Structure 1
Amino acid sequence: MSYIIKTNQLTKSYMGKEVVTNVNMKVKKGEIYGFLGPNGAGKTTIMKMLTNLVKPTSGEIEIFGEKLTNTSYEVLKRLGSIIEYPAFYDRLTARENLELHCEYMGYYDKKAIDQALDLVKLTNIEDKPVKDFSLGMKQRLGIARAIITKPELLILDEPINGMDPVGIKELRKLFQMLCREYGMTLLISSHILGEIEQIADTIGVISDGKLIKEVPMSEIQEQNTEYLELAVHDVKKALYVLEEVLKFTNFKVVEEGRFRIYEAGISQEDISKTLILNGVMIEELSKKNHSLEDYFLTIINGGGISA
């Protein structure tokens, strides 16, 4: 197995407090790795260590098979990144900012700037200074800067912050294209689990500075269990009908007024008819599957996936 990123017991402390603890992370070449965790879990700190912006307290990082050190200049040339909020020279245009970046990187492909701006769909902004950009436009420019040198590895910290639904969809397609057609490896953190679910090959879940799960997305999808979700006003009456009239045993109350029913071989029509005949008003009855969000919340709360 070829890994672009490997960490060994990676740990970071600030003022004696560990914010990242013994993280052993593996990102395979040519995949999209979705990095998930609550705010403050340690995602950004790990990404800063991977890009040499922050030094580990202990542990090791390997990128492209080489140990990351203070002098890993050639290794760092092979990656692009957005960490936290992308910063620019606000009085310069997008093109001028990218020209400076290419000069800094020693990258002199004259077509690269147009290609990068086109890929992120940042057009008709030739004379507009970056200070007049919206948050979403700055985010697009940050991604353009990260991909302009056609890196082998992209590290993107919350890259769809500030994007509208159309922009999120466009970037989703871009990330998939960069991975499949350009052969880039992507490490992406996001709090929008539905987006990660659609593009990631592997999921890493971090909580309180500890990597608690690393799992292929296909494995999560295989564990998906189909169920019916029922929402009602009268919980006690619905509970009586499910248990005593329909004789269901495989269901649970997930929140006040909402049930998940896992009984096999029963139709929505039969459940609906029985509830109504017994005086239970139905707000919602729909077929659903466990999602990445369900998986994530279960893992964070310390359990396994179950019906």
Structure 2
Amino acid sequence: MSVIVSTNHLTKSFQGKEVVSDVSMNIQQGQIYGFLGPNGAGKTTIMKMLLNLVKPTHGEIEMFGEKINHSSKDYLKRIGSIIEYPIFYDKLTAMDNLELHCEYMGFYNKKAIKEALEMVQLVGIEGKPVKDFSLGMKQRLGIARAITTKPDLLILDEPINGLDPVGMKEMRNVFSMLSKEYRMTLLISSHLLGEIEHIADTIGIIKQGQFIQEISLDTLRGQSTAYIELETHDLKKAAFVLENKLQINNFKVMDESVIRIYETSLSQADISKALILADISIESINKKSISLEDYFIDQIDGVEKHA
């Protein structure tokens, strides 16, 4: 599998302030790459640099095996994109907007336009101008425009904003189908972690312009992610027993009543018995596993284990 997007120490400064710092990431052909980070983390700026809409201050970008410079443009014909909020000619219909897009892309296939609209389930709106579309319908149209020309790479910035839960699931299915059946490569940014977890092959995590980690979902799922969640009102006493009686140091105090225990050498029953013998009330104790959201938050904030 070849790398079709690669950045090397990519950096961007605005007015002397770095908003993206030393980012090196690699996207393999045919995979769905989930780009995760809080709002303002630098995701959109990186995507704009990949599309040559913003010029890097330092570092290099390689797309489809070629280095990108300030004048590069031919490679853009192989990319479909949504950056921030999709803009259309509001007085025109969805079909008219996509025909114009295909015209300036040099792509002449009206059947593909109809297929793209059907794919995102924008049907029965033939005579309706875009100005009368809901936010969710405009988002669907943006996705349709990005995929009409069957590009090799899709760069989608928060593509499910404005969609209801049913719409999110439908678009998730579309993205998975494009990756599996058309072998498209997708770079999708989001702060909706559960949505990325369902479809991504690899995730890249960014915070305040700093690239924190790049990891495959298979690797993440293969890691030891089980833990025991203890809920008790005797938090300090429970923490003392865990550390001093059971010799457990690998745990994290989540809030005023919840402790997560990552130690695997003792069973749930052993822990319960020790707490009960110490006269500590247990509201609940359950074995759970770390979700992508938990992992993401730990990477962003740092795992603060009690010691």
Structure 1 length as normaliser, TM-score? 0.89
| Distance of aligned partners of 1:304 and 1:3 in 2 relative to their CA distance in 1, 3 Å threshold | farther
Shift of 1:29: 0.9
Output the amino acid matched with 1:89. Answer: Y
Asked if structure 2 preserves the Cα contact closer than 8 Å seen for 1:237 and 1:280, the reply is no
Indicate the residue corresponding to 1:125 in structure 2. 125
Alignment length, in residue pairs? 304
| Distance of aligned partners of 1:263 and 1:12 in 2 relative to their CA distance in 1, 3 Å threshold | closer
Indicate the residue corresponding to 1:28 in structure 2. 28
Indicate the residue corresponding to 1:226 in structure 2. 226
| Distance of aligned partners of 1:274 and 1:46 in 2 relative to their CA distance in 1, 3 Å threshold | closer
Asked if structure 1 preserves the Cα contact closer than 8 Å seen for 2:31 and 2:202, the reply is yes
- Range moving further from structure 2, 253-262 or 168-177: 253-262
Shift of 1:136: 1.3
Q: Deviations over 1:256-283 (max 9, x none)?
A: 111223455635799499759957262x
Asked if structure 2 preserves the Cα contact closer than 8 Å seen for 1:91 and 1:129, the reply is yes
Output the amino acid matched with 2:210. Answer: K
Output the amino acid matched with 1:207. Answer: K
Indicate the residue corresponding to 2:188 in structure 1. 188
Indicate the residue corresponding to 2:281 in structure 1. 280
Indicate the residue corresponding to 2:216 in structure 1. 216
Q: Deviations over 1:8-46 (max 9, x none)?
A: 222111111111122222111111111111221111000
CA distance in 2, matches of 1:9, 1:277: 54
Indicate the residue corresponding to 1:89 in structure 2. 89
Shift of 1:235: 3.1
CA distance in 2, matches of 1:113, 1:304: 51
Indicate the residue corresponding to 2:10 in structure 1. 10
Output the amino acid matched with 1:114. Answer: K
Shift of 1:61: 1.2
Indicate the residue corresponding to 1:159 in structure 2. 159
Indicate the residue corresponding to 2:267 in structure 1. 266
Output the amino acid matched with 1:76. Answer: L
CA distance in 2, matches of 1:254, 1:151: 44
CA distance in 2, matches of 1:100, 1:82: 16
Output the amino acid matched with 2:118. Answer: D
Structure 2 length as normaliser, TM-score? 0.89
Q: Deviations over 1:50-108 (max 9, x none)?
A: 01111112222111111223443321000000001111111211111111111111111
| Distance of aligned partners of 1:273 and 1:167 in 2 relative to their CA distance in 1, 3 Å threshold | farther
Asked if structure 1 preserves the Cα contact closer than 8 Å seen for 2:228 and 2:268, the reply is no
- Range moving further from structure 2, 40-49 or 4-13: 4-13
Asked if structure 2 preserves the Cα contact closer than 8 Å seen for 1:251 and 1:263, the reply is no
CA distance in 1, matches of 2:252, 2:11: 40
CA distance in 2, matches of 1:22, 1:240: 42
Asked if structure 2 preserves the Cα contact closer than 8 Å seen for 1:295 and 1:305, the reply is no
- Range moving further from structure 2, 224-233 or 89-98: 224-233
- Range moving further from structure 2, 202-211 or 144-153: 202-211
| Distance of aligned partners of 1:210 and 1:243 in 2 relative to their CA distance in 1, 3 Å threshold | closer
| Distance of aligned partners of 1:224 and 1:190 in 2 relative to their CA distance in 1, 3 Å threshold | farther
CA distance in 1, matches of 2:141, 2:277: 55
CA distance in 1, matches of 2:42, 2:289: 29
CA distance in 1, matches of 2:212, 2:114: 41
CA distance in 2, matches of 1:300, 1:274: 32
Output the amino acid matched with 1:122. Answer: L
Shift of 1:251: 4.0
Q: Which runs of 5+ in 2 are unaligned?
A: none
Indicate the residue corresponding to 2:140 in structure 1. 140
Would you say 1:300 and 2:300 are equivalent positions?
yes
CA distance in 2, matches of 1:268, 1:198: 33
Would you say 1:47 and 2:47 are equivalent positions?
yes
Shift of 1:149: 0.2
Asked if structure 2 preserves the Cα contact closer than 8 Å seen for 1:91 and 1:130, the reply is yes
| Distance of aligned partners of 1:156 and 1:242 in 2 relative to their CA distance in 1, 3 Å threshold | same
Describe the SS at the equivalent of 1:111. Answer: helix
Describe the SS at the equivalent of 1:206. Answer: strand
Indicate the residue corresponding to 2:80 in structure 1. 80
CA distance in 1, matches of 2:165, 2:300: 27
CA distance in 2, matches of 1:248, 1:237: 14
